[in-house]
Chains A and B, each alone.
Chain A
């Protein structure tokens, strides 16, 4: 009575990977500017050394400097957030965990807002990243002080740090927002991929490859945490060390994501659950499939955000919630996995 799991996972991975490539190919053709499908791809091809572009320099710029980097960043960020969310849920043994749980999002926001207010927005990715790490360090210090680093302590410490970070961020906004600068800040806080250019692609993809992939591979050990720390230890897992490594990895990955896109909500929380409903909780399957699904999901949410209300744009964080919540409810209702 053996379940043929490996082939099924492989098949699902290949299918999703193909869907991802197709999504990238399709999403790049959507936008307020009316550019034909073949023209889009001819333009991209020309930048890769295949032939000349049929488009004027401006329209070529729209495809190569605006749409393509944005779609690629959406893919990387979606993947990264899904991986982070799944890992966070396993480490804290809490299904409501998301990548921003341990103060990461409010730390990044504080860093970003401070930089926006000081007018040095070129430093924004670095500041957001640093802010996330500082917040994580604070959370771990508080949680680990005087006692063992248990999931519940981490969550509580994370809530405290998040609240503080959010309060400080609000304070900075309130204190210094002049004219219409608050708009920029709110837009960042809601999460947006509108500023994604090639440097953002580099950061996001690097984060996913350098941190996300090792997390996915090492994430198998997360299965052992299913029944708690004692069981995990009894299965030969070094609980404390694994937790630290996973946490730092998630923090770095999330920090990288947040630095290019702000805190886009919902992806890291719901996508792991949606994938679990379909393939189960084993991380060997869950992590890669969640990554691929997250990428596809965010690509389409971002496409909707920028193309649906042409010529205006919505912050993508709104779209992820509006689309994702009903889909998740549907999955939940149709699934029999949750008794």
Chain B
């Protein structure tokens, strides 16, 4: 079992399946409810109550059965953990789920295409709200965490999205992403599924060959006059590093950041990663780059050295690994003379 603290001792690979089996066995014995003695063999003791962006979440409370998810990363995480049938509604999704999860996702009712109101959420009588952005758990959206708690509704925010100092992760790493999946497993009483998922993703990640050509890249998310790009400490940086790409905005201490065109042109990235969203497509970004006389001169634009990543996969979540793998494939096909 993994511990929710920042530093942890990774278990050697060959021990993990045994641990998982033991944990599963114990879970089965105790009837799917966590015990306070914990079941793992790893070194450090585990706190039942975790500090999630300033709000306490008791992992030993009853397992959430009626979950509302907001933002794609939350929905997809739960589907990946096999908990799709416990999701009674989703809101503010960022795009379609990957094919493998499409059937599961199809059964989840959509509450709202945008931030849902508190009433719309409460109407479904959830017992838990899982939000991908902190701003979704405020009075203006689904409701603030304290008042929801007062109604007996638990809440959880994706830890990578915490804005307050002390909660915002320093530089995001895959280990961190996996730790968050594991933590989610505890919160939603799906520790085994989480562990399996992490194992699966970890091996997939290791299978990715990073590019050794020493290329630089721009992660272009949105913006026309002033582009909004993946900067130094977020998911884009994490993925680009794994791909062997140097982020032109690596020095900017932020997850995403606006960056002037001049700085980008000066850096002359070899490759441009385009975030594809329905409201801001990769195609529209290409058109912008080509029509702007200053950027049209970039080598990456002239040779169309573009990589495309879907929006939801660009935020920290269960799709990062597969996105990175996909990007690696695209990158391998790119020819840089």
Contact residues of A with B, CB < 8 Å? 31-34, 57-59, 61-62, 65-67, 119, 121, 175-181, 183-184, 187-188, 192, 194-195, 197-198, 306, 310-313
Q: Return chain B residues, CB-CB under 8 Å to A31.
A: 262
Q: Return chain A residues, CB-CB under 8 Å to B294.
A: 61-62, 65-66, 197
Nearest CB on B from A109, distance (A): 15
Report Cα–Cα, A177/B225, bound state, in Å.
Answer: 18
Report Cα–Cα, A313/B284, bound state, in Å.
Answer: 23
Kindly state whether residue B265 has any CB partner on chain A within 8 Å: yes
Report Cα–Cα, A187/B259, bound state, in Å.
Answer: 13
Kindly state whether residue B174 has any CB partner on chain A within 8 Å: no
Q: Return chain A residues, CB-CB under 8 Å to B226.
A: 187, 192, 194-195, 313
Q: Mark B242-260, 1 if CB is under 8 A from A, else 0.
A: 0000000101100011111
Nearest CB on A from B174, distance (A): 23
Kindly state whether residue B4 has any CB partner on chain A within 8 Å: no
Once the chains bind, are A181 and B263 in contact (CB under 8 Å)? no
Once the chains bind, are B262 and A183 in contact (CB under 8 Å)? no
Once the chains bind, are A180 and B228 in contact (CB under 8 Å)? yes
Report Cα–Cα, A66/B296, bound state, in Å.
Answer: 12
Once the chains bind, are B94 and A179 in contact (CB under 8 Å)? yes
Report Cα–Cα, A195/B249, bound state, in Å.
Answer: 20
A59-B266, A181-B279 are known; give 13 further A-B pairs, CB within 8 A: A59-B265, A61-B296, A62-B266, A66-B265, A66-B294, A178-B113, A187-B225, A188-B225, A192-B225, A194-B226, A197-B294, A306-B262, A311-B252
Q: Which of A175, A187, A195 contacts B114 (CB 8 A)?
A: A175
Report Cα–Cα, A310/B257, bound state, in Å.
Answer: 12
Task: Knowing A58-B297, A61-B265, A65-B294 are in contact, say whether A179-B277 is a contact too (CB < 8 A).
Answer: yes
Report Cα–Cα, A62/B284, bound state, in Å.
Answer: 22
> Which chain B residues in 212-249 approach chain A with CB under 8 Å?
221-226, 228, 249
Closest B residue to A70 by beta carbon equals B262
Q: Which of A65, A178, A313 contacts B279 (CB 8 A)?
A: A178
Nearest CB on A from B237, distance (A): 15
Report Cα–Cα, A59/B251, bound state, in Å.
Answer: 21
Q: Most A CB atoms within 10 A — which of B249, B258, B298?
A: B258
Once the chains bind, are A179 and B225 in contact (CB under 8 Å)? no
Q: Return chain A residues, CB-CB under 8 Å to B176.
A: none
Report Cα–Cα, A293/B245, bound state, in Å.
Answer: 47
Q: Return chain A residues, CB-CB under 8 Å to B265.
A: 33, 58-59, 61-62, 66
Q: Return chain A residues, CB-CB under 8 Å to B30.
A: none
Report Cα–Cα, A57/B298, bound state, in Å.
Answer: 9
Report Cα–Cα, A61/B265, bound state, in Å.
Answer: 9
Closest A residue to B302 by beta carbon equals A57
Q: 9 closest A-B pairs (Cβ-Cβ)?
A: A195-B225, A311-B263, A33-B266, A65-B294, A194-B225, A32-B263, A194-B226, A61-B294, A65-B293
Q: Return chain A residues, CB-CB under 8 Å to B211.
A: none
Report Cα–Cα, A30/B222, bound state, in Å.
Answer: 25
Nearest CB on A from B219, distance (A): 13
Closest A residue to B249 by beta carbon equals A311
Q: Mark B87-128, 1 if CB is under 8 A from A, else 0.
A: 000000010000000000000000001100000000000000
Report Cα–Cα, A183/B280, bound state, in Å.
Answer: 12
Q: Return chain B residues, CB-CB under 8 Å to A184.
A: 222-225
Task: Knowing A197-B292, A197-B293 are in contact, say whether A62-B222 is a contact too (CB < 8 A).
Answer: no
Report Cα–Cα, A306/B260, bound state, in Å.
Answer: 7
Nearest CB on A from B155, distance (A): 22
Q: Return chain A residues, CB-CB under 8 Å to B258.
A: 183, 187, 312-313
Task: Knowing A65-B294, A187-B225 are in contact, say whether A313-B260 is a contact too (CB < 8 A).
Answer: yes
Task: Knowing A194-B225, A195-B225 are in contact, say whether A62-B279 is a contact too (CB < 8 A).
Answer: no
Once the chains bind, are B259 and A312 in contact (CB under 8 Å)? yes
Q: Return chain A residues, CB-CB under 8 Å to B311.
A: 179
Report Cα–Cα, A180/B295, bound state, in Å.
Answer: 22
Once the chains bind, are B280 and A181 in contact (CB under 8 Å)? yes
Q: Return chain B residues, CB-CB under 8 Å to A176.
A: 114
Report Cα–Cα, A62/B294, bound state, in Å.
Answer: 6
Report Cα–Cα, A133/B64, bound state, in Å.
Answer: 55
Q: 23 A-B residue contacts at CB 8 Å? A: A57-B297, A58-B266, A62-B262, A178-B277, A178-B278, A179-B311, A180-B222, A181-B280, A183-B222, A183-B228, A183-B258, A184-B225, A187-B225, A187-B226, A192-B225, A195-B224, A306-B260, A311-B249, A311-B251, A311-B252, A312-B259, A312-B260, A313-B260
Q: Return chain A residues, CB-CB under 8 Å to B60.
A: none
Q: Return chain A residues, CB-CB under 8 Å to B277.
A: 178-179
Kindly state whether residue B268 has any CB partner on chain A within 8 Å: yes
Q: Return chain A residues, CB-CB under 8 Å to B114.
A: 175-178
Once the chains bind, are A66 and B224 in contact (CB under 8 Å)? no
Kindly state whether residue B261 has any CB partner on chain A within 8 Å: yes
Report Cα–Cα, A123/B307, bound state, in Å.
Answer: 28
Report Cα–Cα, A62/B268, bound state, in Å.
Answer: 11
Closest B residue to A34 by beta carbon equals B266
Q: Return chain B residues, CB-CB under 8 Å to A198.
A: 293
